[in-house]
Structure 1
């Protein structure tokens, strides 16, 4: 297992996007690969004993030939937010047969002001780097606001703002009028991946 333990110091980057004071509704996606079932991506919220916001992220993707698994991806993470700031991030990822563990904590002088790549908070188009939750490293990105359009969910189509983030992948993300993450689509290894929001 590869393990990265990082203490990140504050620096002059853009402030994080507003973090809800109360735990918001959970976000649950069915993930499709070329239109076929591929797995689930869940973001669940709770309140900690000291009033902090706890965010649990669980991704499980699998492709196979009958009972034989030919591709497997797992990502489990917990983010802890306090007073609008990321206090800690613990994550473990299974990717290409390797397990990578990340433990990011607030240092004495504060955590670096990079948004994590967990998508649920959205991104400011002015941001040029985000925190890659798979690796614990800063990741250069370009973010475009592509405007309003409709996106399909399990409950029907809704109007949402489309954001395109280009980094290690080019990912399209959709957010509704309240800023809730409601859709995702990208191409990876020649496969078309699409998220469909479910009723949590």
Structure 2
């Protein structure tokens, strides 16, 4: 996923700068090989279209010996007069070994279309990509386009798990923000918390904005879809 939605992304910045600001490179030393140290067993997000909830996005982590298994899942539905007019599901399984990306398989289902299966695995100095049964070699990358790992912010190319291709990107910090997040306390009651976050802009192969909190957790994503609608992912497990 860069977003799992199969759309051409269009950037929509909410701030205008008279001159480019300069920000220090984030210090990722606090982020270990085990993402549970900052996320727990899973991170959950609500997905919005034009500020209206349309679905959920979940990232789950499981460690076995030196391997880390990451399962990503999105279920989205756009409704008109209460009737679903668009459905989309996305699943991805990542494998990491000793902190390094090894492989990813994504499965995409849009409305009544046939499910699309995309696989990518590191093979020496190249990335072997299989899309709908056809295999080819692509430039080696260190990250797929799922945002949970903050070290992705150092990268200039990513494997897009929906487009089945390597995209060249430029990622830069554009502001320090305060983000209002929703959550749930130990009693099941909804909570609201304002957190400090760094906002980064993706340009190049795809365009979007992402936010990471002071613990380097991915807490928010925003982009514009083909129809001009604004899509947002907001973390609901990042308020503590």
TM norm structure 1: 0.80
CA RMSD of aligned residues (A): 2.4
Matched residue of 1:141: which SS? strand
Q: Which runs of 4+ in 1 moved over 4 A?
A: 108-111, 123-126
CA contact (8 A) 2:71 2:92 kept: yes
Instruction: Report the structure, 1 or 2, having the larger strand content.
Output: 1
Q: 1:43 to 1:184 in 2, by over 3 A?
A: same
Hey, what does 2:176 align to over in structure 1?
148
> Which one of the candidate residues 160, 179, 196 is aligned to 2:234?
196
Post-superposition CA distance 1:57-84 (Å, at most 9, x none): 0011110224532122211001011112
* Gap regions ≥5 residues in structure 1: 1-16
Matched residue of 2:115: which SS? strand
Hey, what does 1:12 align to over in structure 2?
none
Q: 1:129 offset after TM fit, Å? A: 1.7
Higher mean C-alpha displacement, 104-113 vs 165-174:
104-113
Distance in 2 between the 1:39 and 1:31 partners?
5
Q: 1:123 to 1:187 in 2, by over 3 A?
A: farther
Matched ranges for 1:148-187 at <5 A? 148-154=176-182, 155-167=192-204, 169-187=206-224
Matched ranges for 1:1-200 at <5 A? 20-24=32-36, 25=40, 26-48=42-64, 50-66=65-81, 68-95=83-110, 97-108=113-124, 112-122=140-150, 127-154=155-182, 155-167=192-204, 169-188=206-225, 189-199=227-237
Q: 1:196 to 1:109 in 2, by over 3 A?
A: closer
TM norm structure 2: 0.68
Q: 1:168 to 1:110 in 2, by over 3 A?
A: closer
Count the aligned residue pairs.
183
CA contact (8 A) 2:106 2:119 kept: yes
* Gap regions ≥5 residues in structure 2: 1-27, 128-139, 183-191
CA contact (8 A) 2:208 2:223 kept: yes
Distance in 1 between the 2:55 and 2:205 partners?
21
* Greater gyration radius: 2
